[in-house]
Copies of this chain bind each other. A is one copy, B any other.
Amino acid sequence: MLTRTPATLDALLRDLPEAWTMRNEGGNSWSAFDVVGHLIHGERTDWIPRAKMILEFGENRAFEPFDRLAQERESRGKSLGDLLDEFTRARAENLTELKGLKLRPEDLERRGRHPSLGVVTLSELLATWAAHDLTHLHQISRIMAHQYREAVGPWSKFLGVMQCAGHSAAG
């Protein structure tokens, strides 16, 4: 599952008109472009660094909190194509690094400390890495559908995605 997200986002988003990729759901909400930047930041600072912290420090040291606004700085001046390339590269590197950890089944039960959730296991962290991809694919499809909420006319009441209130992101 983790290997697939870069290709999925590439097929969905690359070279699409900016009306789909740069618009958000109003206010401070994110565009698809912002979401891809957030996924890159997760690759750099969240999943593998936290897995290593669990292996090294266990419950003794809490993870760094995840910066949900980092992509505003880090994506500046880049194109969506740049971000999709960067995400593909970063994910591939992290999956190589994950293999390099040579985790044994019993390692998956090792415990770490989340700054707000408390004790979590390595297994939960790795499952969340995959589910985090899905939550953002869910969000991107909703952001894109939002751009068509007027265009579909009366059909909007049949389109579940148009009724989705959004539900915040993971960290």
Contact = CB atoms under 8 A, between A and B. Distances in A.
A132 B155 CA distance: 10
Nearest to A150: B127
Interface residues of A, number: 49
Given A1-B20, A145-B131, A138 B160 contact: yes
A155 B131 contact: yes
Interface in A109-139: 114, 117-118, 120-121, 123-124, 127-128, 130-132, 134-135, 137-139
Contacts of A70: none
A4 interface: yes
A162 interface: yes
Give how many copies assemble into the complex: 2
B120 A148 contact: no
Contacts of A142: 134, 138
Given A161-B134, A162-B135, A128 B114 contact: no
Contacts of A139: 160-161
Interface of A: 1, 4, 7-8, 10-12, 16, 20, 114, 117-118, 120-121, 123-124, 127-128, 130-132, 134-135, 137-139, 141-142, 144-145, 148, 151-155, 158-164, 166-171
